[in-house]
Amino acid sequence: MIDTVPQFWRDPAVPSIEARSIIDGRKVCYAPHAHAHFSIGVITAGSCTYTNGEQQHTISQGTSVLMNPQAVHACNPVDELPWSYRMLYVDCQWLAEVQALARDDLPGEFQGYQPVLSICPALYNAFNQFYEQLLDDSHSADVKQAAALDFFQLMHRTLTPEDGSTSAPEQVHAKLELAAEFIRENCAQPLNLQQISEAASLSRSYLIRAFRQHFGMTPHAYLTNQRVQLAQCLLKRGELIADAALTAGFADQAHLQRTFKQLLAATPGQYRG
């Protein structure tokens, strides 16, 4: 039974990184969702379907997957066949400092990476080596921090084109970004579509159509996703599930339970640990 339950790891001594793994992912199904942090993971056995934005791939053991902050994505089993994976969720401010070190530059904003996956054996092997170090209780926090710096500098070199650019070429619609920012800042409140439209100075009909095209989900789905992200932060701090549910804008604990499981393929209790 333990093989089918997601395992989470976090350590106050290494606050910039959170880990997750599952050995038997046949019943692990994700709805499209996004994270506030940068995510990288590897498929350690079997195959799964992987969607990131408009891209969809069937991937297998040896593949690394990469999700920029707020990139809508999902991984799901293929015909309930076995698969397993490991994931790392990384604080963007810390990763921006790693990027600056790699460029020999001053820290700035985190720059997203263009590839959504990699089949580079060196990256895959380095990920697994670092993952083992991270979860090894015999290593000190200093050793883990040094290993983290080494791995993510390697990742940066592997994923960065020769011209040094990292962020994907994309014209961002400023008003849609305003709408998303308004949702993020007010996600715990009972927002409606009219409020979001007014905040972005867009009509409701245009907002619905353009928001989904730009972000890969409707404004309501984006709002729900932000509430789950807020609940994650509260649970990580040790808050009770019922309190986290109400603070994050859910009707009750049961509402959070259903939504959390749908988006993250884990229960709030499993995540809280």
Instruction: Verify that 198 and 237 share a domain, yes or no.
Output: yes
Which helix (DSSP H) or strand (DSSP E) does residue 130 occupy?
Answer: helix 121-135
Cβ atoms within 10 Å, residue 91: 16
251 or 174, greater pLDDT: 251
Cβ atoms within 10 Å, residue 263: 21
| Inside any domain, residue 113 | yes
| Inside any domain, residue 6 | yes
| Inside any domain, residue 152 | yes
Structure tokens at 246: 């109400």
pLDDT of 172 > 50? The answer is no
Instruction: Verify that 21 and 99 share a domain, yes or no.
Output: yes
Boundary-marking domain end, from 130, 159, 188:
159
State the total domains in the chain.
2
Instruction: Verify that 155 and 188 share a domain, yes or no.
Output: no
| 182-233 pLDDT, tens digit each | 999 999 999 999 999 999 998 888 888 889 888 889 999 999 999 999 999 9
What Rg, from alpha-carbon coordinates, does the chain have? 19
| 124-137 pLDDT, tens digit each | 999 999 999 999 99
| 45-83 pLDDT, tens digit each | 999 999 999 899 999 999 999 999 999 999 999 988 899
Determine the pLDDT at residue 173: 76
Residue 198: CATH number of its domain: 1.10.10.60
Residue-number span of the structural domain to which 122 is assigned:
2-159
pLDDT of 1 > 70? The answer is no
| DSSP, residue by residue, 73-95 | EEEEESTT--EEEEEEEE-HHHH
Instruction: Verify that 130 and 193 share a domain, yes or no.
Output: no
164 or 216, greater pLDDT: 216
The pTM (predicted TM-score) of the whole model is 0.85
pLDDT of 244 > 90? The answer is yes
Range in 9-13, 143-147, 208-212 the model is least confident about: 208-212
Instruction: Verify that 148 and 40 share a domain, yes or no.
Output: yes
Contacts of 273 (CB under 8 A, 6+ apart): 8
Determine the pLDDT at residue 210: 87
CA proximity to 263, closest of 216, 221, 234: 221
| Inside any domain, residue 166 | no
| Inside any domain, residue 168 | no
94 or 103, greater pLDDT: 94
Cβ atoms within 10 Å, residue 123: 21
| 96-118 pLDDT, tens digit each | 999 988 887 777 889 999 999 99
